[in-house]
Each structure stands twice: as C-alpha cells, then as structure tokens.
Structure 1
Amino acid sequence: MIEVADLRREFTVASQAGRFRRTYRKVVAVDAVSFEIAAGESVGYVGPNGAGKSTTIKMLTGILVPSSGRVRVCGLDPARQRRELAARIGVVFGQRSQLWWDLPLAESFDLLREIYRVPRTEHAARLAECVELLDLAPFLATPVRQLSLGQRMRGEVTAALLHSPELLVLDEPTIGLDLESKERLREFLAELNVRRGTTLLLTTHDLDDIARLCRRLMVIDHGTVLADGPLDELRDEVSPERVLVVDLERPVADLDGLPGVVSARAEAGGLRHHLAFRRELTTAAKLIAEVAGRADVHDIAVVEPAIDDVVRRLYGRRRG
C-alpha cells in the first residue's frame, strides 16, 4: 500500500542577518526515511513536535514534493498523480476541515459525492453505514459551523470515507475530543480496519489511540525512524518486565523467592503484592500457580508497560 525509500525533505529558512540582509540555511525535516506498509495494516506513526510526522504525511498525500528519495502510495507517485491518488485514499487532518463551514453536514456529503463522482446508490449505502455507526443522524441538518468539535470530527471521518478509500490517513484525529467522542471514533476505526480491510496510518500525540487501534508502531525523531515493529515486540524490547498484581484473602508479609520474579513489593498490610517478572524467565500462568500455592488468592491482574513509557524509552535510547 505504501513504499518509501530514502525519503528526504529539506526546507530553506531565512533569518535576519542585519538591517538590510538575510541569510538562508537548510533545515532537514525528514532524513532518509524508509518503510513499507502492507494493505490492511494499522500503523501508528508517532514522534515529538517537529519530528517530521506531518511532513511525511504531506509527502505521502502529494501535498509536498520530496527533496529526494522514492515514495509510492497505492502504486502511484503522490506528487505526479495527485488526482488519481485522491480517488483512492482518505485523509483526516484534526486541525483542518474538508467540510463546508456554512452548509448543513448532509449537503457537504452531497458535494463530496459529486467531487469524487461516487454513484448515488454506493454513496447512500456508505453514508447510511457511517450515520449509524457514528451516530450522525441528530445533526445531519446542522450547519458545520454550529457543530461541536466531536460532531465535526465524526463528520470529517465520514467525508474521508464516502468514496471507499483503500487507505485512510489520520493526522491527530482525536485532538480536542471528549472521552466519549474519542471512544466512539476509535471503535469505528477499529471496525473499519477489521471488517473492510481499510489500511490505517495514524499520527497522534494521544498514545491511547495507538494502543487501541494499531498493531504496529513507527517512532520518528529528528526526521529519522528510531523504531519500527509490532507494538508488543517493541514493548518487550525496551520494557521487558511485566507486573503481576495479586490481592490475597489474608495478609502475607512477603512473597520472596518466586521463580522469575525480579522485584516484589507489598502494600495494604500484605493484602496486595506487586510482582515484577520477565517473560523469558517465567509466565504469568506459572507465577499465579506459584502464588496460589503459598496463599489464598482473591484477585489478580497483569499490568503491561504503558505505551507512553515504551515511546519515552525509545526516545531515550536515541539520546543515549
């Protein structure tokens, strides 16, 4: 679906060097980035502000022309074949709108049907599906300028999907949304990826979006890719420890000496124990059995490293 090889983008930045003179310097926003994304994948593309995420997205969608390197999306050159590419992808920018500000939401959808030349029956079926899953019916007749941010973002996603794109690119799609709107949008996008096989490429600062939607994570910083792989593997690589939280029926002073446990901590007077273990040394099931052999267990939970910690450690690995 996406092929990127040695992609680079430079910008010329002017600065004042005197009262009547300017100097110019080159700034590299994306530097030798290479990756491939297969059809049907859901990929998170994350990094700090200024890392090169949005610049990459703009080159993938044909908004910017690369300084050098090769990029193909749906088998097309985005910069040279923008019209053909637009018919095959959908793009949602969290801080930009493709809807008509003063028109009712439904009329924006009608205009987009004409722009993309979507047959009426196909458009109606697709719209009905989005209206049901995203609960758009109560505000279809409302002008876009009167919609809440959550309502508008649901409209933006619908607008990007009405021509049945093979690839959906989302740049900060949940920015500013309340918790309910975020969860509704995440559920819809997950369903879209699983049921229809739509490829998702997601850039966001909300790492809960990544954890909920993406099986693969790419981390970019200073224009280069720091890490790329399945989220679970990256988590194991930088945060190999898991924590088994055990609530006991009766207090136990400690649970030292358990096989595979690298550290243990008790709280609530010995009723709750936090047991950090490594997967290569033991499994959660074996550890639970060991604990149950020593004490009566009331409840258990396995805590995975937070995705925020995983990304933070990947950044730290570069600085190190």
Structure 2
Amino acid sequence: MNVIEVHGLRKEFKSYSSRKGLGGAFRDLLTRNYTVLRAVDDISLNVKQGEMVAYIGENGAGKSTTIKMLTGILTPTAGEVRVNGMDPHRQREAFVRTIGVVFGQRSQLWWDIAVQESFRLLKKVYRLSDEHYDTHMKEVIETLEIEPLLDKPVRKLSLGQRMRCELAAALIHNPPLLFLDEPTIGLDVLVKMKMREFLKNINRKYKTTILLTTHDLSDIEALCDRVVLLDEGRIIYDGGLEALQNNWVEGKQVEFEFQKPVAKEDLEHITRDFPVKWRAAEKLRGWKATVEGDDDTVSRVMSIVMSHHSISDVKLNQVSTEEVIRNIYEEGIHRHG
C-alpha cells in the first residue's frame, strides 16, 4: 500500500525585480518584471506504509517545498498528490488528522504556556478520548524522557528539550505518517540518539511511515534504508542507501595521520600511478585517500605512502554517506543534460 503517491509534481514561484530610479518605479506600477523559479520540477514518488525514507539535497534543492505540498501547506502548480488516500490541500481538515509534522525551524507548541497545556490543547484539536490520550502519551512521554519538562513554559526549554516535546506533540494522535523537516538541527549527540531510537521504536511498533529531510547524514545512516536525492528540483537518485554507496563510490577509503605536515601535491605525486583521490581529514596532519580497485591496489598505495612518510596512525574506513553525497555534487555527474 502506498502512503504517498506523487506524479509529475511541480511548484513554481514568481520572483519580481524592481527597475532603477524614479522612472523605473513608475514603470513598475504599470508592468512588473518577473522571472519564474521552478522549485520542484516534475517529480514522481511513491512511499509504502512503514518505510523510513530520507529526502535529501543541497539548500535550495526543493526539499522543504515538496514537504509543504505533501502536507497541504502549499498548492502544487501542476501534478497529482495523494497522501493517505487524500488530496492534502483540498481535503485539508480530514487530512491533517492523519499526519504528524515536525519542522526543526518552527514550533507547534505555545511559547508562554506549560508543555502539558499545549498537549491538552492539541488533544482537543484532534478530538482524542481521554483513554487514548492517557495511554498513548504516557508511553511517548516516558520514552522521550520529557516528564520533568511538562510543567515548564516552552520558552524556558533548551533546544534539545523543545525538540523532544515537538516530536511528542506531533505524535499525540498517533498518526500513520510522520514528516520530519530537519528535526535534529542544532541538537547535541545524546539528544539525537534518543530521538533516533524513539523513531525506530514507533516505526517497528506502529508501522509509522517516516519521511525525513536532514543535512545530518548520520541521521540517514541510523534510520533510513531508502534515500531520495534531490537536485535543482529533480530527483536524481531513488534507492537503497547501500546501493548509493556502492554505485557512486568505488573502492575503499584509507585515512592516514602523518607525524609531520604533508602537502596534498606530494601525496598526489607519489600515488600518481594509482586511481586515488586525496582529501583532507578532520585530524591534524590527516589525509583521506579514496582508492579505486581491489585489495591489492589498496595495499600498494598504503605501502608507497608509508615508505615516503612517517605515519602516526592509519585506518581503513568504509566510505561515509557524507563522502558519497559530496562526490555526487562535486563531480557533477548528476547534472541533467
């Protein structure tokens, strides 16, 4: 069963520009210059019940615009959208009862009242019975560890505390579909881990479908098996996370930490006979080598580097999702002709 069905979805915005000077201002009164920006460009997408899908791309790729159309906030310029069997924009009142939404940059909680009062107001909005609310929210509150926060006004919460409460608020009515737009932005590692574990639990227990947009690629690796990659309003990849890593980056990654500073040009020179790409690592005097080829090729590259330079440490890593995405955008092989 498809929870989300999108076909030929498009969203265009008009951008107006002003002419210079007083004369230009008068001309603007009569006719306006504008350009059409296509934020989402003819995308098609199906998401099945129980899937956890990462919807990712660079800033301006069209992620948030898509989410707003799927949740009924924006009306598409063209195309068909069915979410939970409904048109999100035309059947707005019935539709919003079947989804939960968390926007990392916006709050659905009332700023000056206690968290539990916001929950009670949302309970009335969704017309939930006392029994459903008490049973379901007790579990959510315990799992997210927010009971000590219920009596506090939202404005007095830290970012991590507020985001856990936002997630609880989105799940008050136990929706079958959850949209998460940058839900872990600015959070510390411990809070992220708690939220990820909670999302995996509700997915297992209730088959909750989750569509996640994020710039934190560790969220994707922890939660999602499927990745939809967006660029300039178009889907350029839709498939498994493992396949994405295998298809876009061949070979293995070796991370060297040198005892003395080493120039990239020197590393490229000594490994010029091998298919190697060098990139600076986070560690001081650290460099990463992505080596295409078999284990023998990797071993020979390691031997050459270590014969020319003193090494403090060396590690053989799996190429990270972050590296994969960076390679796709930097190499430009995703561009449409």
Aligned to 2:263: none
Q: 1:98 to 1:271 in 2, by over 3 A?
A: closer
Given residue 327 of structure 2, which amino acid in structure 1 is its aligned partner?
Answer: R
Contact 1:226 1:314 in 2 (8 A): no
Aligned to 2:18: 16
Aligned to 1:253: none
Is 1:145 the counterpart of 2:147? The answer is no
Aligned to 2:114: 104
Post-superposition CA distance 1:242-282 (Å, at most 9, x none): 3589xxxxxxxxxxxx974332215597997666xxxxxxx
SS of residue paired to 1:113: helix
Q: How far, CA to CA, are the matches of 1:167 and 1:60 in structure 2?
A: 11
Is 1:223 the counterpart of 2:233? The answer is yes
Contact 1:217 1:231 in 2 (8 A): yes
CA RMSD of aligned residues (A): 2.1
Given residue 199 of structure 1, which amino acid in structure 2 is its aligned partner?
Answer: T
Which of residues 92, 106, 123 is equivalent to 1:113? 123
Aligned to 2:4: 2
Q: How far, CA to CA, are the matches of 2:79 and 2:294 in structure 1?
A: 51
Contact 1:90 1:169 in 2 (8 A): yes
Aligned to 2:138: 128
Aligned to 2:323: 309
Post-superposition CA distance 1:174-208 (Å, at most 9, x none): 11111211111111112121222100100011111
Q: How far, CA to CA, are the matches of 2:194 and 2:167 in structure 1?
A: 12
Q: How far, CA to CA, are the matches of 1:85 and 1:269 in structure 2?
A: 63
Which of residues 59, 67, 70 is equivalent to 1:49? 59
Q: How far, CA to CA, are the matches of 2:125 and 2:13 in structure 1?
A: 32
Where structure 1 has 5 or more consecutive residues not aligned to the other structure, the ranges are: 246-257, 276-302
Contact 2:252 2:298 in 1 (8 A): no
Post-superposition CA distance 1:220-260 (Å, at most 9, x none): 01100111100001110001323589xxxxxxxxxxxx974
Q: 1:129 to 1:51 in 2, by over 3 A?
A: same
Is 1:263 the counterpart of 2:269? The answer is no
Q: How far, CA to CA, are the matches of 1:240 and 1:76 in structure 2?
A: 42
Q: 1:118 to 1:273 in 2, by over 3 A?
A: same
Q: How many equivalent pairs are there? A: 281
- Normalised to the residue count of structure 1, the TM-score between the two structures is 0.83
The runs of 4+ residues in structure 1 deviating greater than 4 Å are: 266-275
Shift of 1:161: 0.4
Shift of 1:48: 0.8
Aligned to 1:81: 91
Shift of 1:305: 1.1
Which of residues 203, 216, 229 is equivalent to 1:206? 216
Contact 1:47 1:219 in 2 (8 A): yes
Post-superposition CA distance 1:70-113 (Å, at most 9, x none): 11100111111111111111000001111111110011111111
Where structure 2 has 5 or more consecutive residues not aligned to the other structure, the ranges are: 256-292
Given residue 72 of structure 1, which amino acid in structure 2 is its aligned partner?
Answer: R
Contact 1:227 1:314 in 2 (8 A): no
